[in-house]
Structure 1
């Protein structure tokens, strides 16, 4: 099957290592595309809730696929979020095609683009990390209950529903938080002369133009792989929100689910061998993506 070529893919809030993560669906999506650059915009591995007791093969296969892209000299930028914040201490770390940064300032087809996770604007995150961690556990539990309810609902011939989406869309404080987050991000982006700003963190996929006192900014959020199963894609000079639910090609891909029955340890060893990081890089770069100094 010919893979769909994409200039840039932005993923965030995958939360590998949690029960809510749709790793199999993400793997199908990744296998369906041929990206020229990948931006991992935070909360890719959920270190907050990571447990050695729960690390399915599909989660490891996602990691292996991403490192396979690096081994092919596809640039991969990893921007840590709040759930994988311990990686922030490795800011500036380069290993072959992998770069760990706290934020990205890019020039894409003569447009200035600011990319960061977004937790820096979360008051709860800044002042009450214990409360944020407790909320993360509660969210993961809600997702588990939601999956059970949807399983029963589908058996009864009814459609799926999302508890957390329902809460976000109906609770005024949640709606206000999202609106305030977007407004704050865009005001600061405009002050710094950015044309576009890309975030994750709030699990709410979006592309919209926001007008501030300092000018207009295109706000984008890549969503998540817990509920929305979305990403941002840039190709042919256009940004768009990718939705797995609307992609029958990706849904039909057979991911194999670890046919060789490798253990996570064996998969990690083969991953490291495969990664054996080529320090050389291809001359072919993504022409539309230039990191600013």
Structure 2
């Protein structure tokens, strides 16, 4: 059993250069990834700066920590300009970008429906997600892509030069249901879940979802070894103490989780925590440990 690596979610709520100092601090603390949520706002919170612009700036002020979206939202992004931004940031960062992708949230206070039009049904949302990921994959593998889907299209899109990372930047797919698991198994280099589930404890939920992921991967003839847990959305005391973190990390490592994501302490929100405990956990579990 290998102890999971640890990463953090950075809040895109502070302007530069203060935000840049926090990204450099995340690197110094030894986190594997520094992630950022991709929304127009988040549950109505403002200011909320753009994820991809933030990542470009973060890439320029760091040199070791991997950076990425947790996760890119199809609610307001089209795969073509997204691929262009991804390729650019991969070059700026020297090949340190990872792209997380999910089906998109349901809250209008974050980004659902901001482009207008009818609300997406669950079935349409799942279909859009699958097509969105398929097209982004094609665009980043390049060198030229033409695609005509039900929801998205591209015509003679040139991606040259391609990504620094070959054949493209890694994808982390956020998925819990059967259709999402198939997308993860087909296109993902890693998979992420929160462990939150109605009527089920988080560890039982993750165990069940990992079994479903394994089944989907077997059907696709692929293997996803990177399994990420985004904490903070289930009732578990990850940041109560270094000992509490170590206990929980060990339990999830036994299930097969390879990376634990903690939220950077954010005062006055449900993600408030003791910065000293947060840094103590990073000191003990970050870096190459």
TM-score, with length taken from structure 2: 0.37
Q: Which has the higher contact order (CA 8 A, sep 6+)?
A: 1
Higher fraction of strand: 1
